[in-house]
Chains A and B, each alone.
Chain A
Amino acid sequence: MSMSTNQKKFLQKERRNKIFVILMQILIVVIFLISWEVLANKKILNPFIFSSPSRIILTIKNLFLEGSLITHILTTLYEIVLAFFIGIASGFLIAILLYEVKTLAKILDPFLTMLNSLPKVALGPIIIIWAGANTKAIIVMALLINLIVSIVNIYNGFLGTDEIKIKLLQSFGATKGQILRYLVIPGSKRTIISSLKLNISMTLIGVIMGEFLVSKKGIGYLIIYGTQVFNLNVVMAGIVILIILSFIIYEGVSLLEKRLLQEKN
């Protein structure tokens, strides 16, 4: 089918707009980095406190060459992946339990609300004592943050199941398990997938917070270590790596979300 001139104009405008937005985004980053570098070199910004892009790159390069960078990244990644999957899987199972046993949901409701509103970092010191100053404490910290969100999100998705469809399955003589398998879980696919994204953000917060508190490896450790020895280049390098890592992970989960939602439904 041939395209009308107006349609072509519309598409061109859309494309131009998109390119403009991307160019502006790049420009902001470039201006920011150049100003930072120049201001630090002219000593208007104290490079000892503020570091500078070139110093950060040099630090990252050195960390890479001495071999510790990869270890830090892999440690953090390992903790993120572990906490993410445990969080999602247990969140899913607990949500099913709450959905099936409504009285349990009612009993636990105030405790879930309390845990949800509590700043979990306050529990950090206790977690270190209980779980030990090791990876376990970091995973527990991350789980404390991502689990409640997953449970509440998935459970609310389950509660949104169409009553009419439940009645229909009951009229077929469906068991509770069949209602879950054929209706509640597939019907909540969208909510479950969107809770993956929320869960990954929470996991990142939890893991870094955990690494701040107890760790000898990982990006959170790198940042805290840099602060303790007052080497702001290391701190900034840690933050930059964290930004890149978070961006990649978040985009990965977004891509997964898109793929899963694109399937015919």
Chain B
Amino acid sequence: MNSILEIENLEKNYYTKQGEIKAIDNISLKIKEGEIITIVGTSGCGKSSLLGILANIEDKTNGKIKYQKDKPTIGYMLQNDALFPWLTIFDNAILGLKIAKKDTSENKEYVKKLLKTYNLEEFINKYPNELSGGMRQRVALIRTLALKPDILLLDEPFSALDYQSRLAVSADVFKIIKRENITTILVSHDVGEAVSLSNKVVVLSKRPCKIKKIYDIDLPYDNPIDNRNTKEFNELYNKIWKDLDVYVN
């Protein structure tokens, strides 16, 4: 199998006092190594639950999740950078290693190298509040990359940023992901982000979420910002927007 991850008939139900809520309904998906996939869906459709299950911090109700490796390392980035304000940039970057008890001198050197490669070397002993939003996201990504993940899960990691920074920071982060060649699943409700950043876009229906359509994306440029100005981008954007079936009451 050349899929790094296979999701088969995944289901997720939530049980509340008001009743049972089906969040994910029979999702099957194969993800190939090195692919960058974006899952789009309207707010509250169950996208984040899907990532939570893949990250092993939420239980599934039914279905199978098969990783190529027996014990894959999973990197998870959430809605904001979640840097710890009381830790230095370096200590933030090695937090995952510390928790996983993998903070060997070799791995720490690797983190230092990553910080250096991505222009954060001079901020190693600074604190998060001394960095710009973009830099903080880069640190959050390095914190995840430090564990050398087999697969990277991004749960709307740019949603806390304003539109301008969002474009710049997402382009920056994806440049790093492509360079490090990591299989990535991004969850977003931003169609533009999905089309400009990924190889494949999976459109989910409203709750309970099912796969509505899958688009293969092949845009001409490496830089997502350049891709936004192409004809192909606009066509795909409009198609996916229609699929999402968003309307305002």
Give A contacts to B, CB under 8 Å.
162, 164-165, 167-174, 178, 182-183, 186-187, 189, 264-265
Contact = CB atoms under 8 A, between A and B. Distances in A.
A171 B56 CA distance: 7
B84 A174 contact: no
A182 B76 CA distance: 18
Contact of A186 (B56, B57, B86, B127): B86
A171 B57 contact: yes
Given A167-B57, A264-B127, A265-B127, A172 B82 contact: no
B236 interface: no
Interface in B46-73: 52, 55-57
A186 B52 CA distance: 25
Nearest to B125: A264
Given A164-B78, A164-B80, A171 B127 contact: no
B82 A168 contact: yes
Contact of A165 (B56, B74, B82): B82
B1 interface: no
Nearest to B160: A164
Give the 5 A-B CB pairs with smallest separation, nearest first: A171-B76, A172-B99, A170-B57, A265-B86, A172-B96
A183 B96 CA distance: 12
B99 A178 contact: yes
Given A164-B78, A169-B99, A265-B86, 10 more contacts: A162-B82, A164-B82, A167-B57, A168-B78, A172-B99, A182-B95, A182-B99, A183-B84, A187-B86, A264-B86
Contacts of A172: 95-96, 99-100, 147
Given A174-B99, A182-B95, A168 B76 contact: yes
B100 A173 contact: yes
Contacts of B85: 265
The secondary structure that dominates the B interface is loop
B74 A186 contact: no
B36 to A, nearest CB: 19
Contacts of B199: none
B74 A171 contact: yes
Interface in B80-120: 80, 82, 84-86, 95-96, 98-100
B99 A164 contact: no
B144 to A, nearest CB: 9
20 contacts: A164-B78, A164-B79, A165-B82, A167-B52, A167-B57, A168-B78, A170-B57, A171-B56, A171-B75, A171-B76, A172-B96, A172-B99, A173-B100, A182-B84, A182-B99, A183-B84, A187-B84, A187-B86, A265-B85, A265-B127
Looking at A162, A164, A165, A167, which has the most chain B CB atoms within 10 Å of its CB? A167
A173 B95 CA distance: 12
Nearest to A178: B99
A220 B136 CA distance: 55
A186 B82 contact: no
Contacts of A170: 57
A189 B84 CA distance: 13
